[in-house]
Amino acid sequence: MGKEKLAALSITEEFASKIKADNQKERLTKWAPVFVLIALFLVFSLILGGSFASGSNLVSILNQWAIPLLVALGLTFVIMLGSIDLSIDGTVGMAGSLAAVFVLNSRNGNDMGVWGLFLAVFCSVIIGFIIGTIHVKLKIPSFMVSFAFMNICAGIGLLSYGGKPPTIKDEFIASIAKSSFLEIPIITWVALLVFVLCLYIQECTPFGRHIYAVGTDETIPKAVGINVNKVKIKVFTLAGFCFGVAGVLGAIRLGQGQVSIGADLMFPANAAVVIGGTALTGGKGGVVNTVVGTLIMTVLFNGLTMMGVNPNIKTGVQGLIILIAVALTVKRGSTIISK
């Protein structure tokens, strides 16, 4: 009897110590992105002196951070599902172009004011909804559907202004780009607001928990009666919302609507999400990770730009640092096979 108890205890102990070690490792990988961010910041401050860490450059970083953050937030939920959304470049460009042609602008007679901005975001939400619906109903991989919509949306954006980019003439909307509150640009406040919304959805709603469940193993939520398809459609719609806000803010930031607002956002966003620690396989990570991931990317671009690295080698250096950041932050031990 006593012997049995001892054996049971040692198994329990062993299990407990393993859990403890796992937790420790988990905590370490959880904080790795933050360490990378701090390291980057310190290195750039050392090399560039005061101008990098100056108040005005921090404001620039916040300004440059807003749009990548919004895009990556939307993408985070999609990646947590284990899916992918390639429509970013098109959707963001479309929303930005539409926003500029809806408000008072140099191309047509529209003057919807702030409602024009909401309408542009709404169009992007619709696109997200359609992508999600086609993905689940026609059972086409999200990769393909969203890729198609990248092109469709870029086309809609181009058509909306017929090649000559509209300049925003609405003085209030144009002034948003320059305005700040507590030294932080309004554009960044909007992005932070969307972040809080996403965090609330992730942490405090059943929908948020369902995303993790579907991403981990679809069959389990299905077995307990969760409508998996509905969760997926909602995630793509939410992503559409984030991309739409990003596009509209992009247009405000540029003072002009252009499809190219969305150009080259997708891969840095993917990298930011992964560097932040959200697994491409789904089920792990979250929007807080993405905040850190996008900050790493923004600080990296900003610092390299200020350093004046020869443009011919800058792209390569960027790639190298991203690779190092991923190697440091992605939790690799748990996967046996990587593909």
Partner 1 sequence: MKLRRITSLLLVAALAIAGTLTGCGSQPSETTDTPANSGTVAEDIDYANFTIDPSKIPQEKLDTTLYVATSVRGLENPYIVTITEGMDEFCKYLDSIGQKYEKQVLDSGGSNDVEIDNMKQFAAKAKGNAIAYADPNEAAIAPSLAEAMASSGGYIGTAWNKPDDASPQDYDPNWVIHTSADNVTNGKATAKALFDNMGGKGKVFVIEGMLGNTASIDRVKGFEQALKEYPDIEVAHQDTANWATDQALTLVETWLNDTPDVGGIWCANDNMATGALQALDKKNLKGKVGVTGIDANTDIVEAVKAGNVVATVSSNGYLQSGYTLAICYAAWAGLIDPAQMPEEYRVFLTPAVMVTADNVDSYIAEYVDSVPKMDFAKIFSCKAD
Binding site for partner 1 (CB under 8 A): 48, 51-52, 54, 56-57, 60, 63-64, 106, 158, 162-165, 167, 177-178, 250, 253-256, 258-261, 263-264, 301-302, 305-306, 308, 311-312, 314
- Cα(64)–Cα(191) distance, rounded to whole angstroms? 11
212's CB contacts (< 8 A; 6+ apart) are 80, 283, 284
Among 299, 57, 290, 93, residue whose Cα is nearest residue 185? 57
CB of 255 to partner 1, least distance (A): 5
CB of 203 to partner 1, least distance (A): 32
- Name the one residue in this structure whose structure tokens are 């096979």: 337
Tokens describing residue 132? 């999600």
Angle at 205 between CA 84 and CA 298, to 5 degrees: 45
Q: State the amino acid at position 4 in one-letter form.
A: E
In the complex with partner 1, the residue whose CB is nearer, 56 or 338, is: 56
Helix count and strand count (H, E) for the chain = 14, 2
% helix, strand, coil for the chain, step of 5? 75, 0, 20
CB of 123 to partner 1, least distance (A): 18
In the complex with partner 1, the residue whose CB is nearer, 28 or 47, is: 47
A 10 A CB-CB count for 120 gives: 28
Q: Are 294 and 301 in contact (CB under 8 A)?
A: no
CB of 67 to partner 1, least distance (A): 8
CB of 306 to partner 1, least distance (A): 5
Among 51, 32, 53, 29, residue whose Cα is nearest residue 42? 53
Tokens describing residue 231? 């969760």
In the complex with partner 1, the residue whose CB is nearer, 166 or 221, is: 166
CB of 298 to partner 1, least distance (A): 10
In the complex with partner 1, the residue whose CB is nearer, 258 or 278, is: 258
In the complex with partner 1, the residue whose CB is nearer, 24 or 54, is: 54
In the complex with partner 1, the residue whose CB is nearer, 57 or 133, is: 57
In the complex with partner 1, the residue whose CB is nearer, 197 or 317, is: 317
Q: Are 214 and 222 in contact (CB under 8 A)?
A: no
CB of 208 to partner 1, least distance (A): 32
